[in-house]
Amino acid sequence: MLMKLQTRVTELLGIEYPIIQGGMMWVGRAELASAVSNAGGLGILTALTQPTPEDLVKEIQRCRDLTDQPFGVNLTILPSVNPPPYAEYRQAIIESGIKIVETAGGKPQEHIHEFKKYGVKILHKCTSVRHAISAQKMGADIISIDGFECAGHPGEDDVPGLVLIPAAANQISIPMIASGGIADGRGLVAALALGAEGINMGTRFCATKEAPIHDAIKQFIVSNDERATNLIFRKFHNTGRVAKNSVSDRVVEISSQLDSQFEDIRSYVSGAKGRQALETGDLDAGLIWAGQVQGLIQDIPSCHELLQRIVSDANQIIRERLNQFI
């Protein structure tokens, strides 16, 4: 019989297992979020995947039609010359009755403040201890701390999870979720040992049956090893970790030139081309965001199979493997 692995995270969010699906652009849709929630974790819809706030309202309802379990919505605030209407997306989330929101990106104060007025639980993603402390002061309920191994934007400090997780745990009092480099029960137990009370997985959930992306992308992730990523945007102080393909190789090559500017790589890194890659399976259409955890992913299970395996393995490690050393 599986131990529940109850933590402050499971209690706060009303979920069975302390396993959360990261909010991923073009991937965080109702099919995946509902499957994770139905499996006992917390599924997350990605607000900006939807072209308008009205479309987000429809996607939230679609997710509700697929699960009666808790799920959340990710709202990522990114620097942009022409930013999306964040306040309208925020209002759509509130009016839809969502009670769990994952925030990410810079200057989330306004959004956290407004969400808290309506009793929304806030998970805020951070890549450094100092940002975690700030988010706690702003009123975040849970910190999602991202190590350097993660897909997406790991910050500019280059601190891996083995150091970052306990360093953050030393400084904050609210619950913390470990993110980056986690794909199995070993990662869950390690995260708990380091001071986290749950885990967040992105790349691992991309390689599941319910992930709404092309099978060729899922097989690509399975076939890759831990070395198969590139760090892009380093020169522009907006580091991103993506899977290694011809596009990201070219971006790294151009960026290495002393006189290169962002305009020189803009055409390669557009979100539309990344979406094309995910939806068509063309591995060289655009960027494919993935973490070093690719080296730990060897199959494409359903979300239910994956969570059962993670929790079962974690149980076994805690009960058997660790006990033998005492």
Q: What was the pLDDT predicted at 4?
A: 73
What are the start-end ranges of the E strands in the chain? 19-21, 43-46, 71-77, 100-105, 121-126, 142-146, 176-179, 199-201, 229-232, 240-243
Q: Residue 2: inside a domain, yes or no? A: no
Both 181 and 266 in a single domain? no
pTM beyond 0.85, yes or no: yes
Confidence of residue 1 (pLDDT cuts 50, 70, 90): low
Provide mean pLDDT across the span 283-295: 98
Both 54 and 75 in a single domain? yes
Count Cβ atoms within 10 A of the Cβ of residue 1 and give its class: 0-12 exposed, 13-18 middle, 19 or more buried.
exposed
pLDDT, tens digit, for every residue of 206-232?
Answer: 999 999 999 999 999 999 999 999 999
Total length of the chain: 326
Both 186 and 275 in a single domain? no
End-to-end, the C-alpha distance of the chain in Å comes to: 23
CA dist., res. 221 & res. 203, Å (int)? 8
Q: Residue 275: inside a domain, yes or no? A: yes
Expressed as residue numbers, the domain containing 238 is 215-292
Both 140 and 164 in a single domain? yes
The closest of 228, 233, 290 to 256, measured between CA atoms, is: 233
Under 8 Å CB-to-CB from 30, ≥6 apart: which residues?
45, 59, 62, 63, 65, 66
Both 284 and 309 in a single domain? no
Q: What is the CA radius of gyration of the chain?
A: 19
Confidence of residue 146 (pLDDT cuts 50, 70, 90): very high
Number of domains in the chain: 2
pLDDT, tens digit, for every residue of 68-80?
Answer: 999 999 999 987 7
pLDDT, tens digit, for every residue of 152-167?
Answer: 999 999 999 999 999 9
Both 13 and 63 in a single domain? yes
Q: What was the pLDDT predicted at 45?
A: 98
Both 129 and 76 in a single domain? yes
pLDDT, tens digit, for every residue of 232-264?
Answer: 999 999 999 999 999 999 999 999 999 999 999
Tell me the pairing of strands 100-105 and 121-126: parallel
